[in-house]
Structure 1
């Protein structure tokens, strides 16, 4: 598993090189089914300080062949969306299939569109594009900030707060992630429609991760071995609502 590999590479220069080779190969194998030019894609990510999240990142970190990603989710800084989109169009024959709001949209469709846009912004996404290549679906998420990982940090729950890039990878809640446990978080405000859409999206995500063997809970105290007298999980970095960083004492952040 990943923790074992990271410990192994610290034991010698030869093991360091062997683990790097294995991790590089693993990432390229996961991206290969969706991309014609994986090296070129990774270079584009590096040049734009972008990362891959979603199922690709989870499969890479878990090193589990049973996790079968259905698409690639790319997270980019707020000003890098067009650069990555142009790369996909030019080098991967991608077509932008982002569904527009129809001029004939009903009031309900319009309200739902506005609600989804609001939800995306609450999740840290300034703009989203859905592209389709001859090999599959690639989704682009432009951050509201210069940090591409803001939308990842505001994901539905702890398992999805994971990422992998050309040079770096990590997960914010490794003590839960590698035990296939997860906590649900929410970034919604007091807006009835947005809360409803948020709940729908979260329910789908929870179902997907449960099918992958994750035990998803609302609070760390729901696992008896983690209650510690009912203390708040924030003391151990296990509260999805507490301020965190991807490089803090509880996170796992590593380089290839």
Structure 2
């Protein structure tokens, strides 16, 4: 398992600089990737999904089928305008998926999701609800693997110790394509479980809650707690990321007090709160 120094230090010295790696993440989908990065620099925008995963997990072959952009309600129009007029993108109909509607969006802190198509590829634009932390839908990902983010200023992950060990915990099962997604990432070499108890080197028959190692699905988490990875592209220039979302992967019992405790913020039935 990586040490805290390794997790905090981010990319290794023999890898590409973070800014170049971010450019490489967005370039396959954009006509003018440099213009896009300049556009989002002053905005409340994060890249999530496989794009963020490929930025962090550079030794794993992650195929990015579509770029996922999470945008605050205030900045949503700026992004759509830029994609339309600078990147030659147009909106394409999203496929109809059962159970993905207003209730699903609310559970993920989202107002809407649209797909924009450039001459190079598809971009999913997630518009976050007003007055909700922009990292909220990333925290509500289908499993811990995608609880990660990157933008021009910051990058990080909610579960780095599992991420860099190619391990993940499933979330609450509200995403209808969980099974297909799980099979896809298992084929890519990730070990995805419902509980850390399924990993022999971690399992403890006398203590089933793994909150001490930041591996409990019911544990209340933040992107600024001691179990998270929180990095800056330019540490001497940029302030640490500001985020106020508190989340848990699921409310399934963990054998401890996490469901009822909720970090003093989440009710036993609650998946997230944006303070």
CA distance in 1, matches of 2:7, 2:194: 30
**In structure 2, C-alpha distance between the alignment counterparts of 1:182 and 1:9, rounded to whole Å:** 20
Report whether the alignment pairs 1:168 with 2:154. Answer: yes
Number of residue pairs aligned between Structure 1 and Structure 2: 229
**So what's the TM-score if we normalise by structure 1?**
0.80
Paired residue secondary structure (1:127): strand
Displacement of 1:41: 1.0
- Which of 48, 54, 65 in structure 2 is aligned with 1:53? 48
227-236 or 237-246, larger mean C-alpha shift: 227-236
1:204-219 matches, within 5 Å, as: 204-219=180-195
Name the structure 1 match of 2:241: none
Partner of 1:89: 84
C-alpha contact (below 8 Å) 2:92/2:117 kept by paired residues: yes
Of the structure 1 ranges 72-81 and 215-224, higher mean CA displacement relative to structure 2 is found in: 72-81
Distance 2:224 2:10 in 1: 21
1:37 aligns with 2:14: no
Aligned to 2:103: 118
Q: Over aligned residues, Cα RMSD in angstroms?
A: 2.7
Does the CA-based 8 Å contact 2:54-2:62 persist in structure 1?
yes
SS of residue in 2 equivalent to 1:225 = coil
Matched residue SS, 2:134: coil
Shift, 1:249, TM fit? 0.3
- C-alpha distance after superposition, 1:201-230 (max 9, x if no partner): 211221221122100000011112112333
Change (3 A) 1:215 1:65: closer
Match of 1:63 in 2: 58
- 1-side partners of 2:231 and 2:17: how far apart? 14
Work out the CA distance in 2 between the residues paired with 1:233 and 1:124. 27
Match of 2:228 in 1: 251
1:185 to 171, 179, 184: 171
Task: Give the SS at the match of 1:41.
Answer: helix
TM-score normalised over the length of structure 2: 0.75
Is 2:219 the counterpart of 1:242? yes
In the other structure, the counterpart of 1:192 is none
The 1:100–1:158 alpha-carbon spacing in structure 2 relative to 1, beyond 3 Å, is closer
| Change beyond 3 A, Cα 1:30–1:100 | closer
**Alpha-carbon distance, 1:65 to partner:** 6.3
Displacement of 1:231 in angstroms is: 3.0
5+ residue gaps in structure 1? 102-108, 189-197
Tell me the distance in 1 between the aligned counterparts of 2:140 and 2:102.
15
CA contact (8 A) 2:8 2:229 kept: no
Gap change, CA 1:99 and 1:115, over 3 Å in 2: closer
In proportion to residue count, which structure has more helix?
A: 1
1:185–1:241 CA contact under 8 A, matched in 2: no
For residue 47 of structure 2, give the secondary structure of its aligned residue in structure 1.
strand
In structure 2, runs of 5+ residues without a counterpart are 234-275
Alignment check: 8 A CA contact 2:11 2:17 kept: no
